[in-house]
Amino acid sequence: MAQISTREFEELPLRAHEFLAGVPLQDAWVVDLPRTRSGITLDEFLRAAKGRRRTESPTARALLAIRLFLGRVFGWDREPAAFARETFATRLTATDLSMSLVPAGIHDGIFRVVYRFENEQLLELMNSTVHGAMLSALFETSTAYRFYLGVYVRKVSRFTSIYMALIDPFRKLAVYPSLLRSVCAAWAMFALEAETSGDYRNGPPEVGSTTGATPRPPLIHAKSSPNPQSPSPQDGEHHPEASPTPHGVKSLAGRTILGFTQLVVFLGAALFVPAWTLNFWQGWLYLSIFAAASALITAYLWKYDRTLLESRVKAGPRAEKEKSQKLIQLLASLAFIGTLVLPSLDCRYRWSHVPSVFVIVGDAVVAFGFLAVFIVYKENTFTSATIEVAPNQRVISTGPYAVVRHPMYAGALVMLFGTPLALGSWWGLVMFIPMTLVVAWRLLDEERYLRKGLPGYTAYCEKIKFRLVPYVW
């Protein structure tokens, strides 16, 4: 299976190109299926597959569950009142209606059918985030069947572009590949049942037969997306491991998505379990900002610096090699948990009251902290989550590193300072003290390690006097 260009997809003889004129094509994918016999249509395959158990991956199911949960909480998935007049089904011509094998408007899971021809189906979904359409098409070639998937998205509000950008890495790394794998599994079962039952009633079509099926184009070779290399922000150099093998990409993608999912679940538990309520708008807003910022940074690293993403995925006390750093990471984890749990308890027992304006300011401070961390990632491709010296690592002294030695820790502390305010708690600020002490311990221990193992770092420390805060420390 592979993602293909929109140009290649639009060259296919499909009704959807004219039908969805003006609706942007967001993604296009293709997968080849074994050719067990000729004459199989998409409609025949979909009818045979209907009702079968779905085989999406656990990661894709977890992402869908999280998305549906957020949709229920924020009311994203309610079909708008304008659906009846804005549905794509209003574009159907009399010919389309007569050719469609399924009535327009009936539900198919979370979608509604617009039309289904013999070898082309269009489904749509309209809610508060997007007005989308998913097109499936099946073409028979001389050696295989080729299944195409196209996704179109029309904006319904300003939030649509933001929403699509946030879910982009999850769609491409988990959802679409999992969906296409489930198509392959359903096709294999469909072929097996036909073989064991001897059901070849349709048989191969006669030569020159024109039964209304979509014209079948010659075999088109799917274009595999090249692995983007991971340029160094300063001079464009990259490490040999920056362009991993397909197995490595799959492994990195899975670990990245799993780690992000675990992070969101952990944050949700730390915020809402101690509060013992979902009626905690400060928690929802903070969780949304944290998750969105993390997703955007991850998407950037996936596209431009997978070497750094690989190193950031390996984090936590067990990933550290130095005993002192294992202890520091453990203490930092406990302090971070306290930074979330204490405001959550404050929400439950009403210990303090923070005006809404300060909550918004706190969220802005959190976002600014994430921005500072992102700038560091762009500047320094060696920003590992553990204390180590990578092969060919060099001292970075440009950008934020020309101001302080540890700009990422500075950005993290800014984010952590804003967290209690964003969660509506004065008492939560107490946790900023132990967190600052742990961060100071970590960076001092890191400097000791780098002075010994990284050439030029001692000279850099003599040049840049301040560690965290200019003119202070």
Check residue 456 and give its pLDDT.
87
> For residues 366 and 428, is the Cβ–Cβ distance under 8 A?
no
Nearest-angstrom CA–CA distance, 22 and 427: 53
Tokens (6 digits) for 38: 């000729």
Angle between helices 281-304 and 407-422 (to 10 degrees): 160
Cβ-Cβ contacts under 8 Å for 102 (sequence gap 6 or more): 113, 115, 116, 121
Give the pTM. 0.50
Nearest-angstrom CA–CA distance, 438 and 435: 5
Instruction: Match 């994918």 to its residue by tokens.
Output: 29
Per-residue model confidence as pLDDT tens for the chain (473 residues):
688 888 899 999 999 999 999 999 999 999 999 988 889 999 999 988 887 766 667 767 777 776 776 677 667 788 888 888 889 999 999 999 999 999 999 988 889 999 999 999 999 999 888 899 999 999 999 889 999 999 999 988 888 887 787 777 778 777 888 888 889 988 988 888 766 655 544 444 333 333 333 333 333 333 333 333 333 333 333 333 333 333 343 477 878 888 888 888 889 888 998 888 888 999 999 999 999 998 888 888 888 888 888 877 766 556 666 677 778 888 888 889 889 999 999 998 899 889 999 999 999 999 999 998 888 888 887 776 666 666 677 888 888 888 888 888 899 999 999 999 999 999 999 999 989 998 888 888 888 888 887 888 888 888 888 888 888 88
| CATH number among 3.90.1720, 3.90.550, 3.40.30, 3.30.530, domain 2-197 | 3.30.530
Check residue 418 and give its pLDDT.
94
CATH 3.30.2350.10 fits 245-463, yes or no: no
Beta bridge pairs of residue 2:
30
Check residue 173 and give its pLDDT.
76
Check residue 191 and give its pLDDT.
81
Check residue 256 and give its pLDDT.
83
Nearest-angstrom CA–CA distance, 454 and 459: 11
Nearest-angstrom CA–CA distance, 7 and 29: 12
Beta bridge pairs of residue 137:
120, 148
Q: Which amino acid belongs to residue 232?
A: S
Nearest-angstrom CA–CA distance, 23 and 298: 28
Check residue 234 and give its pLDDT.
33
Q: Tell me the helices (H) and strands (E) count for the chain, helix number first.
A: 16, 7
Check residue 147 and give its pLDDT.
95
Check residue 210 and give its pLDDT.
36
Structural domain spans, the chain: 2-197, 245-463
> What phi, psi does 25 have (nearest 5°)?
-85, 115
> For residues 385 and 312, is the Cβ–Cβ distance under 8 A?
yes
> For residues 385 and 325, is the Cβ–Cβ distance under 8 A?
no
